[in-house]
Amino acid sequence: MNGLLLVNKPIGISSFDVIRQLRRSTGVRKIGHAGTLDPLASGLMLMLFGTATKKAETLTKLDKRYVAEVQLGANSTTGDNEGEKTPVSDRVPSFEEVEAAIAQLTGEITQVPPAYSAIKINGREAYKRMRAGEAVEMPPRRVTVHEHVLISYDYPRVEVEAHVSSGTYIRTLAEDLGKLLGTGAYLTGLVRTECGRYSLQEAVVLDEADAAMVEQKLLDI
């Protein structure tokens, strides 16, 4: 089997778990992906079979679209629901304040990626260094937030949709929103809905992806 499979990753498993499951269900060994999703995130993953694995670097650079849920009032050591929470403020921003802060986090911006990430610092993943008790300094990067829209707001919950360049961390967008509002914030939910021209609506359910289905659904790239 050679080609691209669009998969809807469920919450609670790692990106490599998706590869393991597809290997078991299809018998194919040469499987990769074009961009990870954290275990607490769900949604679209581009899974590459056979010769298509050579396209991983190109596909990883595609823009992404996400729907994210953010909790105001506290910070998290990991930037999401997995970390240790520290209360910051119980101030309740107005709808207009939240909208204005989101507008500030649109366009070309500078981000400091989360230390609990797979970015390699001197050859080793940052999250592994953090778990080993090392101090990790993450270099800032320029990213582009093409679109950042407030879907709903019911304090302390904020729901947004973001269309971003490759390399943008939605956890960091959530934390930066909390900084702008003076409330603190962390990510509580994340769904990737698009990668470039590929949509979650076209993706297969991971548990249903047996050899026959995969062979039928593989896309040429």
- Catalytic positions, written as ranges: 38
Report the alpha-carbon distance of residue 74 to residue 108 in Å, rounded: 26
* CA distance between the termini of the chain: 13
Residue corresponding to tokens 């991983």 = 56
| Contact (Cβ atoms closer than 8 angstroms) between residue 64 and residue 194 | yes
Rg (CA), the chain: 18
| Contact (Cβ atoms closer than 8 angstroms) between residue 80 and residue 172 | no
DSSP assignment of 66-113, as one string? EEEEEEESEEETTSBTTS-EEE-------HHHHHHHHHHT-EEEEE--
Rounded (10°) angle between helices 95-104 and 170-181: 130
What is the β-pairing status of strands 85-87 and 204-205?
A: unpaired
Residue at 216: amino acid letter: Q
